[in-house]
Amino acid sequence: MMLRMTAAMHIVELPLFPLDTVLFPGGLLPLRIFEVRYLDMVRRCQQSQTPFGVVSLQQGSQVLQPGSAPEAFNRVGTLARLIEVQNPQPGLLHIRCQGEQRFTVHRSEKLKHGLWVADAELLPGDAEVAIPEDLQGPVRMLRRLLQQMEDKDVPLEQRPVLAPFEFDDCGWVANRWCEMLPLPPAVRQQLMALDNPLVRLELVGDLLERKGWT
């Protein structure tokens, strides 16, 4: 398995990790790796300094189990870049990843040892859109939450958001709320796949308002 870029926006043989979660660009993803197919994938990605793709499951389990339904996953996912790899014991890795660019799977194949690989097209990143006055509520609330973590000296590795903070950007603020709000995976997937960051933040603002958080 070798990740190859065939053109500016296309990737061949992108290793996939179908999960019961949704990764957003700029988001953090800690994982505990013990299956052989993913131990091998992580080592290869670490050695080649290349990302893997995270896609959310529609069917099946993220851990292979006898009798479980075949894996089926959404076609829009997010590249995950390794930022930390720990090997506490043989056959176990603790990793932290950061979301990068979104992609669409055009063709996927499950290899003999169970790893999915795909030919994918990278999607354009969110346009930088300033936050309008009527959507400043989610910004203020996010600032308060992060300041509370700072005041309580929450260790950096336990905080859900990585610096730099982009409080003036619709996409960044919307993505951080999409990660922290208690949303069903299907709703998170729909929000991540939206190509308009302003609409994504508007929807987040509606969700926060319904909860009385703004």
At 197, the amino acid letter reads P
pLDDT for position 4: 58
- CATH number of the domain to which 161 belongs: 1.10.4060.10
pLDDT for position 162: 85
pLDDT for position 98: 96
Determine whether 90 is exposed, middle or buried from the number of CB atoms within 10 Å of its CB (0-12, 13-18, 19+).
exposed
pLDDT for position 3: 59
Q: Indicate the residue among 122, 147, 170 that finishes a domain.
A: 122
Residue with tokens 């922290």: 180
Q: Is residue 71 part of a domain?
A: yes
* Count of domains for the chain: 2
- CATH number of the domain to which 118 belongs: 2.30.130.40
Query: Cα–Cα distance between 45 and 214 in angstroms, integer?
Result: 41
The verdict on 55 and 153 lying in the same domain is no
Query: Cα–Cα distance between 31 and 17 in angstroms, integer?
Result: 11
pLDDT for position 211: 77
Q: Which helix (H) or strand (E) holds 54?
A: strand 52-59
DSSP 3-state percent helix, strand, coil across the chain (nearest 5): 35, 35, 35
Q: Indicate the residue among 122, 156, 178 that finishes a domain.
A: 122
The verdict on 162 and 196 lying in the same domain is yes
Q: Is residue 33 part of a domain?
A: yes
Coil, helix or strand for 142? Answer: helix
Neighbours of 198 (CB within 10 A): 18
pLDDT for position 214: 62
Coil, helix or strand for 86? Answer: strand
Task: State the angle between helix axes of 197-211 and 185-193 in degrees (0 to 180), rounded to the nearest 10.
Answer: 150
At 118, the amino acid letter reads A
Q: Is residue 16 part of a domain?
A: yes
Consecutive 10-residue averages of pLDDT for the chain (214 residues) = 61 96 96 96 96 96 79 97 95 96 97 95 95 95 93 87 92 96 94 96 94 70
